[in-house]
Amino acid sequence: MKEKLFDDVYNSYYNDVYRLAYSYVLNNQDAEDIVQKTFLKLYKNIHKIHKSNNDIKKWLFRVAINECKDLLRFLKTKTFVSLNEEITKNGYNNKNNSLMLALMNIQKNYRIPLFLYYFEGYNINEISKIMKKSESSIKMSLSRGREKLKKEMEEK
């Protein structure tokens, strides 16, 4: 029953929610993300929603607008630069450049903590909060990541 109701609502209002999100963020990928988050919230809360189509549509629009506002607020505070631009801009010397390139070749679960720790200067506690993992998990990722990075550097 829950899945049938969700499917019906999804098929009926997907385009409406997408157009609303796109009108806010003016970006296809961000609009798709917002639609996905909106319908995920619907799926989790469908038992709370009244069966009236107007109520569901209003609820979807309210959630989508809040998601759009959250995204725009987040983007307003962040500056995004590609890693290659960062390497060039900061004038890393050849040693750091090769280190950064080696870092790019290891798994993400090791790369991210290493980057945050060594290049951004975050401590283990801060990294654990950023990545929403325990401090012991971050310590283990750093330790294993250092080993993998060392092997990667030796191969080059």
- The two tokens of residue 129 are 């909060």
Domain limits, the chain: 2-77, 83-155
Token code pair at residue 2: 């829950």
Taking 70 as the threshold, does the pLDDT of residue 14 lie above it? yes
Q: Are 36 and 67 spatial neighbours (Cβ–Cβ below 8 Å)?
A: no
Q: What CATH code is assigned to 2-77? A: 1.10.1740.10
pLDDT: is 93 or 24 the higher one? 24
Give Cβ neighbours of residue 68 (< 8 Å, ≥ 6 apart): 20, 21, 24, 25, 34
Q: Which DSSP letter does residue 55 get?
A: H
Question: Kind and range of the H or E element at 146?
Answer: helix 135-155
Q: How confident is the model at residue 119 (pLDDT cuts 50, 70, 90)?
A: confident
Look at residue 82 in the predicted model and tell me its pLDDT.
54
Cα 111 to chain center, whole Å? 16
Helix, strand, coil distribution of the chain in percent, nearest 5:
85, 0, 15
Q: Is 145 left (phi over 0), alpha (psi -120 to 50) or beta?
A: alpha
What's the pLDDT score for residue 17? Answer: 93
Per CATH, the number for 83-155 is: 1.10.10.10
Mean of per-residue pLDDT scores for the chain? 82
More confident residue, 130 or 40: 40
pTM higher than 0.85: no
pLDDT of 18 higher than 60: yes
Radius of gyration for the chain, computed over Cα atoms and rounded to the nearest angstrom: 22
Q: State the DSSP code for 106.
A: S
Please name the amino acid found at residue 29. Q
